[in-house]
Copies of this chain bind each other. A is one copy, B any other.
Amino acid sequence: MSSLCQVIRRAIQLRGNHVATRFAEREHTWEEIGGRVARLGGALRALGVREGDRVAILALNSDRYYEYYFAVPWTGAVFVPINTRLAPAEIVYWLNDSESSVLFIDDTFLAPLAAIADQLATLRTRIYLGEGPPPEGFVAYEKLIQAGEPIAASSRGGDDLAGLFYTGGTTGRSKGVMLSHRGLTLNPLQAQPIFQFSPEDVFLHAAPMFHLADGFFCMAAATFGVRNVFLPAFNPVQVLETIQSERITHALLVPTMVNMVVHHPDVGRYDLSSLQRVLYGASPMPEAVIRRAMDVIPHATFVQAYGQTEASPVLTLLGPEYHTTEGPYAGKLASAGCAIPGVDLAILDAEGREVPRRRIGEICARADNVMLGYWKLPEITAETLRDGWLHTGDGGYMDEEGFVFIVDRVKDMIISGGENVYSAEVENAIYQHEAVAECAVIGIPHATRGEQVHAVVRCKEGKMLSEEELSTHCRRLIAAFKCPRSVEFVTAPLPLSGAGKILKRELRKPYWEGQERNVH
């Protein structure tokens, strides 16, 4: 039976003496990680954690976060990584909804926790991840490990619940996605034909570890014996410095991060020659950004991943050979790639029938990496997993060679005067204007058309753009009915979710106050 404990056991068996984690000056081998995980597991059990209990974490990235990801399943418990950008009320909701009894927390979040301390109904134990003496009422992380009696790995695995990942919440209320040992251990194997990790690789965790996009790479690194290097949080200069100093070979960077790194004024000063592969995903990459990236780090190859937390998370991959704008593969760059092995992907219509190639429908999947369901939400689970298919909520189509083109979140699609407008298509047009730094296209209420296409645009520093210029630009690229009818120019960066996606819900909010938006 597959289990996350076995993943660590095998890493120790094959790579015991090799470096597993590196955080600032601290380094541990796989053998050491194995010993620490077994002792931390023993310490958790001594604290009363039983199999199936939820154990949460609220922290920036670190090697200790990595150990948490394996110590919790080692003791048979369920990890609950908490989004570091939540409002206090949301933290309360996640901890209480998951009924977490233990929380790992670092210095950054001590104050927010103090503010909500009296609202936490189930929390019994607080474990302090910081360096100094723990605050009163907290247990020190390293002390726990030193004192912990190593235990044998829990026998949980297969379909047993391994982790609860709350959805980013770009639309609606957070839901706890229940992921199994099987799904989390399988997904790295499904992605490996394209990722091609080898034990000599060094992976940079600069994206937040609470999000499964990076969580996936925590599992993958252990599966393939790859070294992990952690940055507390994303910062373009630190990313550049770390690639150079740690000889990073692989990095996950969501599109907004890629954008910031490759446009950084000092990018040319760093030695990025070790970088073999940049993995990106979580949201579609504007073509202009990926082209710039291919210019700045020409020796690196790119892999696009598409998926969602509900799929543990990868569903499709676009390999390096398709990151080209010439030759027989030209045009594939606009796609999210093909179903990875073990994923049965289909584009279904509203009645659940498979649509012909190039016809738009909802992207659906059947696979062992699909979630067990939403925590304590049987109705939404049944609706999302109906007829055995995971309904992703994303609209898209498939070409003759199985490449999936995502046209939009079904929820972000705009219906204006009876026509479907895919915001991604409009955004792609807008991004092609050289003055644009960032943009988002949303539907806002319109008396007769139902919705109107509205753009929120931030220009590059020192650049200007008028509504009319933008309109003229768009009309040259896309049909008139898709062009923005109204534009809002902003100077502040657009609001981002924990996964680095633009929060369209936030942008829509002022326009829809007091009105119900009809979500398709």
Contact = CB atoms under 8 A, between A and B. Distances in A.
Interface of A: 1-3, 6-7, 9-10, 13-16, 155, 158, 182, 185-186, 188-190, 192-193, 196-197, 223-224, 338-339, 341-345, 366-368, 388, 398, 400-402
B366 A6 contact: yes
Residue with the highest number of chain B CB atoms closer than 10 Å, among A188, A342, A402: A342
A366 B400 CA distance: 40
B2 A342 contact: yes
A1 B368 contact: yes
Name which of A16, A339, A343, A402 has the most chain B CB atoms within 10 A of its CB: A402
A116 B10 CA distance: 49
A224 B341 contact: yes
Nearest to A192: B193
Nearest to A153: B344
Contact of A1 (B2, B345, B388, B402): B388
Nearest to A190: B189
A101 B402 CA distance: 37
A81 to B, nearest CB: 23
A9 B186 contact: no
A339 B14 contact: yes
A469 B15 CA distance: 44
Nearest to A195: B193
User: Can you list the 7 inter-chain pairs with the closest CB atoms, starting with the nearest?
Assistant: A6-B344, A14-B402, A13-B402, A189-B189, A2-B368, A223-B341, A14-B338
A193 B190 CA distance: 10
Contacts of A400: 16
B342 A189 contact: yes
A3 B344 CA distance: 9
A401 B368 contact: no
A196 B224 CA distance: 14
A310 to B, nearest CB: 15
30 contacts: A1-B366, A1-B367, A1-B368, A1-B388, A2-B342, A3-B344, A6-B344, A6-B367, A9-B344, A10-B339, A10-B341, A13-B339, A13-B345, A13-B398, A13-B402, A14-B338, A14-B402, A15-B402, A16-B400, A155-B388, A158-B368, A188-B341, A189-B192, A189-B341, A192-B192, A192-B341, A193-B197, A193-B224, A223-B342, A224-B341
Contact of A342 (B13, B185, B367): B185
Given A190-B189, A368-B2, A14 B182 contact: no
A273 to B, nearest CB: 23
A7 B1 CA distance: 21
Contacts of A224: 193, 341
A72 to B, nearest CB: 18
Nearest to A6: B344
Contacts of A344: 3, 6, 9-10
A158 B342 CA distance: 11
A158 B190 CA distance: 16
Contacts of A158: 368
Given A10-B344, A14-B338, A14-B402, A367 B192 contact: no
Contacts of A9: 344
A343 B10 contact: yes
Nearest to A2: B368
Most central of A158, A193, A223, A341 by chain B CB within 10 Å: A341
A367 B2 contact: yes
A256 B185 CA distance: 36
Contacts of A223: 341-342
A16 to B, nearest CB: 7
Contacts of A15: 402
Contacts of A368: 1-2, 158, 182
A15 to B, nearest CB: 8
A14 B3 CA distance: 30
Contacts of A188: 341
Contacts of A341: 7, 10, 188-189, 192, 223-224
A250 to B, nearest CB: 15
A70 to B, nearest CB: 14
A401 B31 CA distance: 12
Given A2-B367, A158-B368, A192-B341, 13 more contacts: A1-B368, A10-B339, A10-B341, A10-B345, A10-B402, A13-B339, A14-B402, A16-B400, A16-B401, A155-B388, A192-B193, A193-B196, A224-B341
A301 to B, nearest CB: 15
Nearest to A367: B2
A448 to B, nearest CB: 41
Contacts of A196: 193, 196
A161 to B, nearest CB: 17
A401 B14 contact: yes
A14 B192 CA distance: 17
A9 B367 CA distance: 13
